[in-house]
Amino acid sequence: MSIFHPKGNWFRAPTGSERMWVGLALVWCLVMSITMPWWHFQGKQNAPSETYEVDPAAFMERVNQFVDAHQVDEVNGVPIVEPPPGGDAYLMGQMWRWYPVLKLKEGQTYRIHVSSVDLQHGLSILPLNMNVHVLPGYDYVMTVTPTTSGEFNIICNEFCGIGHHLMTGRIIVES
């Protein structure tokens, strides 16, 4: 009678199948609690945490330097930039584009600096479906090793104003 007042001392430990279920649920919660740190050490896919404070204007300047230094081609007027394997790459979220197009090599590791120079954006690499959140003022470093090759599209998946559904980019991975 969940609407009436229990009287007297109603305190008692669970018994029978209720006790079994509480125990089983607790075990399952512990399994999930252990899986996450286990994967942190053993797994190859972990959420990046390396972050630096950056002024949006300074970040844009670094992006432009990066493009000038490593541009190899262009597509639809967007520069294609090939960072040195193992080196730093830059990806800028701006209303409404991901700039520039990156050209990477399969199996090589890159430190991709992602930031926004205006609103919040969502970096989403397709069709892999890999996503991170991008904030202005935060230089977020994703240490990424492409394990597949081909052309990968980038979209924005955080609302960033009326042109949000036009905000795309690209990563090209050579085998």
Partner 1 sequence: MNTQTATTDEYRVCNTTGLNIFRKAEWFVKANAVLAVIFLLVGAVAALLLALTRWSNVMLLSDVWYYRMLTVHGVNMLVFWIIFLEMAILYFASTTLLNTRLFSKKLAYVSLVLMTIGAIATNYIMFAGQADVLLTSYPPLEAHPLFYLGIILFAVGALIVCFNFFATLYIAKKNKTYEGSMPLVTFGAATAAIIAVVALVHGAIALVPTFFWSMGWTEMMDPGVYRLFWWGLGHHSQQINVAAMVAVWYFIATMSTGAKPLNETVCRAAFILYILFINLAAAHHLLVDPGFSAEWKMWNTSYAMYLAVLASMIHGYTVPASMEVAMRRKGFNKGIFGWFARLPWKDPGFSAVALSAIIFGFIGGITGVTLGTEQINIMAHNTLRIPGHFHATVVGGTSLAFMGLCYYVVPLIFQKDFYLKGLARIQPWIFGGGIVIMSLGMSFAGTYGVPRRTYDSDFSGATLETGFDPVAHIMLGILGIGGILAFIGLLLFILLVVAAVFFGPSLKGKKMPTWQTPEAQKMTDDLISRGYEEEGKDYKHIKTPGTVVLVLIFLLSFAIYYFANWAALADLWHIR
CB of 90 to partner 1, least distance (A): 15
Considering the complex, state which of residue 3 and residue 57 has its C-beta at the smaller distance from partner 1. Answer: 3
Rounded CA gap, 109 and 37, in Å? 23
Considering the complex, state which of residue 20 and residue 72 has its C-beta at the smaller distance from partner 1. Answer: 20
Greatest alpha-carbon span in the chain = 80
CB of 52 to partner 1, least distance (A): 9
**Does the CA dihedral 79-80-82-87 come out positive or negative?**
positive
Considering the complex, state which of residue 64 and residue 78 has its C-beta at the smaller distance from partner 1. Answer: 78
CB of 22 to partner 1, least distance (A): 6
The 10 Å CB-count burial string (b at 16+, else e) for 148-166 is eeeebebbbebebeeebee
Burial-class residue 100 by CB neighbours within 10 Å (0-12, 13-18, 19+): buried
How many Cα atoms sit within 13 Å of 23 on the Cβ side? 8
Considering the complex, state which of residue 66 and residue 98 has its C-beta at the smaller distance from partner 1. Answer: 98
CB of 65 to partner 1, least distance (A): 21
Considering the complex, state which of residue 8 and residue 57 has its C-beta at the smaller distance from partner 1. Answer: 8
CA 93 to chain centre: 13
CB of 144 to partner 1, least distance (A): 5
The separation between the first and the last C-alpha atoms of the chain, rounded to the nearest angstrom, is 67
